[in-house]
Amino acid sequence: MTEITGTGDPARSMALLWRESEPAPRGRGAAAGLSVDRVVTAGIALADTEGLGALSMRRLATDLGVGAMTVYTYVPGKAELVDLMVDAVLGEMADLYTPVSDDWRARLEAVARANWSLYERHPWLLHVAASGRPPLGPGVMAKYELELRAVDGSGLDEVAMDAVVTLVDGFVAGTARGVVEQAAAQQATGISEAEWWAATEPFVARVFDAEAYPTVARVGPIAGEAQQAAYDPRRAFEFGLTRLLDGIAVLVEGTNRS
Amino acid sequence: MTEITGTGDPARSMALLWRESEPAPRGRGAAAGLSVDRVVTAGIALADTEGLGALSMRRLATDLGVGAMTVYTYVPGKAELVDLMVDAVLGEMADLYTPVSDDWRARLEAVARANWSLYERHPWLLHVAASGRPPLGPGVMAKYELELRAVDGSGLDEVAMDAVVTLVDGFVAGTARGVVEQAAAQQATGISEAEWWAATEPFVARVFDAEAYPTVARVGPIAGEAQQAAYDPRRAFEFGLTRLLDGIAVLVEGTNRS
DNA sequence: CGTCTAGCCGTACACTGTACGGTAAGGAGC
DNA sequence: GCTCCTTACCGTACAGTGTACGGCTAGACG
């Protein structure tokens, strides 16, 4: 259920991403009204509502009202389809973020929260390995541009600007992943987070050796009580974001001082 | 290819994790010498060498020299097997980290690097969604204890100690994921990172609109040149770790001042 | 020696992505 | 209006997956 971007032929992928050589529909295709865009949109809708696990070529074809193999007329394979879906969806970033402040820190925080919203809208993004070889289409470019602008004018050089944006994006992805994983576990088991914790905690208490793990014995219960679970991703997001921005501020101040 | 921990029956899982009620082997099993431990060890070996994608019940059974369904005698299902593998492997953290300094920052940095090594040894860990409902076995406990000790004595309260450890663990997982994703893309395509970038870059140059994305046009080439790729996870790790520790230092100093 | 238990495993089901080859519908040229 | 050709469409097949079910049999116990 993990898809990897950038595994198709680069030339073909780039042509698709930028919608080069989309021919005027001829032949039977015109009747069905099918197109790359419609395929991609249907794929996104399916992944949004039922998860990336439900995105099979057969199911997608059924949703589109065509036979399974017909989808391959518009898209070389599932890998390229996912590339297109990712690029399209990252392009939505522009709707989620509008720069307001002239303070880099406020802008960067807004970028982080917009990314968080993106993962809320499209949780399946976290099941796609896109950081290594991102689909360099218009959506990715627009998102990257917008994020770079947030740190532009802070005094950081170009390499640091890129590194800061990458750091914030990665942080948000990591904490958002926590939300998605908990939701997936709940879906897979039918047991809520609280129920699971209630069922597991007694065993922890029984089997636990407070002498072997004294620090866990001290910290665990307090942290567990505060979160009502083994892990609270939303709390982790708020806590981590402040630390991260503090750390970036140290860099910015150091840069502007010298 | 993404597995989710904590999806089995909590009682059964906890009993397995702590190896309760492992009966003295009777019947034919004694001859084959099979046990939960041997199954788990074989699973880890398989995942280490060929990846989590190669870990199928049939393949594991073949490696153990038994029929496919025999594995189910020792382990309720694949989900529980993965739980056991994760706990066993996180227990190795104790071999990778030995506390030396009495400076919390040095200790926390060592924890981060030990986590990085853990993912180098067992990249498949990143294909397991374990943060939501971690397998609370001896390995997880040992790792958590060790990490909490690193920040103990820094002046932070218990809730903050847990949050800091969670933050660092999540950061390392995110950057390590970059390495694993790039390796997976290379394996899937047979094309190296440099070759992919060389094949893609001309298309970027051709299709790219410097007026639409002026900041990308300025920053992208400089960052790309510095990394020789779209993304360099090792660089991101070193850069991010410093920012993160700086940000945590701000918190520690603030706590100790008041 | 008889019985019973527990380890072992063959078969089956509903899925997956996609290679291959066949069918037929629409546009172009006359 | 007829023919031809391009191209969209799609049925079938293959090698996989996790695991429910039920049958077999080897060893332990009375």
More confident position, B198 or A243 = A243
Q: Which residues of chain A have pLDDT under 50?
A: 24, 29-31
Q: What is the pLDDT of residues B21-40, one digit of tens each?
A: 665 555 554 446 789 999 99
- Residue with smallest Cα–C1' gap to C4: B27
Contacts A159 to B, Cβ<8 Å: 222-223, 226
* CB within 8 Å: A166 and B231: yes
Using CB atoms, pick whichever of B181, B203, B216 lies closest to residue A10. B203
* Ramachandran area for residue A83 (φ above 0: left; ψ -120 to 50: alpha; else beta): alpha
Buried b (16+ CB within 10 A) or exposed e, B45-70: ebbeeebbeebebeebbeebebeeeb
Evaluate whether A210 touches B113 at the Cβ level (below 8 Å). Answer: no
Backbone CA torsion sign across B219, B221, B224, B229: positive
Nucleotides in C strand less than 7 A from protein CB? 5-11, 15-21, 25-27
Q: If you measure CA to CA, which chain A residue comes closest to B180?
A: A132
Residue A30 is predicted with a pLDDT of 44
In angstroms, the CA of B68 and the C1' of C12 are apart by: 14
Split at pLDDT 50, 70, 90, the class of B228 is confident
Nearest to A244 by CA among A73, A90, A115: A115
What domains, with CATH codes, occur in chain A? 1-160 (1.10.10.60)
More confident position, A28 or B72 = B72
Question: Which amino acid, one-letter code, is at A209?
Answer: D
Distance CA A168, CA A112 (A): 6
**Residue in this structure with the two tokens 């002239």, named with its chain if needed:** A102
In angstroms, the Cα distances linking B94 to A219, B87, B88, B166 are 19, 13, 11, 17
* Ramachandran area for residue A228 (φ above 0: left; ψ -120 to 50: alpha; else beta): left
Distance CA A32, CA A65 (A): 9
In angstroms, the CA of B234 and the C1' of D20 are apart by: 46
Distance CA B137, CA B144 (A): 11
Min CA distance, A88 vs chain B (Å)? 17
More confident position, B209 or B244 = B244
The string of DSSP codes covering chain B is --EETT-S-HHHHHHHHTTTT-PPP-TTHHHHT--HHHHHHHHHHHHHHH-GGG--HHHHHHHHTS-GGGGGGTSS-HHHHHHHHHHHHHTTHHHH-----S-HHHHHHHHHHHHHHHHHH-GGGGGEE-SSS---SHHHHHHHHHHHHHHTTSS--HHHHHHHHHHHHHHHHHHHHHHHHHHHHHHHHS--HHHHHHHHHHHHHHH--TTT-HHHHHHHHHHHHHHTSS--HHHHHHHHHHHHHHHHHHHHHHHHH-
Angle at B250 between CA B244 and CA B252, to 5 degrees: 100
Question: Any atom of strand D under 7 A from CB of B257?
Answer: no
Question: Which amino acid, one-letter code, is at A217?
Answer: A
Distance CA A49, CA B217 (A): 36
H or E element that contains A120:
helix A104-121
Question: Any atom of strand D under 7 A from CB of B69?
Answer: yes
Distance CA B73, CA B59 (A): 16
Using CB atoms, pick whichever of A15, A167, A204 lies closest to residue B239. A167
Min CA distance, A58 vs chain B (Å)? 19
Q: If you measure CA to CA, which chain B residue comes closest to A243?
A: B247
Residue A31 is predicted with a pLDDT of 47
In angstroms, the CA of B57 and the C1' of D26 are apart by: 24
* CB within 8 Å: A162 and B219: yes
Q: What is the pLDDT of residues B165-175, one digit of tens each?
A: 999 999 999 99
Q: If you measure CA to CA, which chain A residue comes closest to B231?
A: A132
Q: What is the pLDDT of residues B103-141, one digit of tens each?
A: 999 999 999 999 999 999 999 999 998 887 899 999 999
* CB within 8 Å: B132 and A185: yes
Question: Any atom of strand D under 7 A from CB of B12?
Answer: no
Residue A163 is predicted with a pLDDT of 97
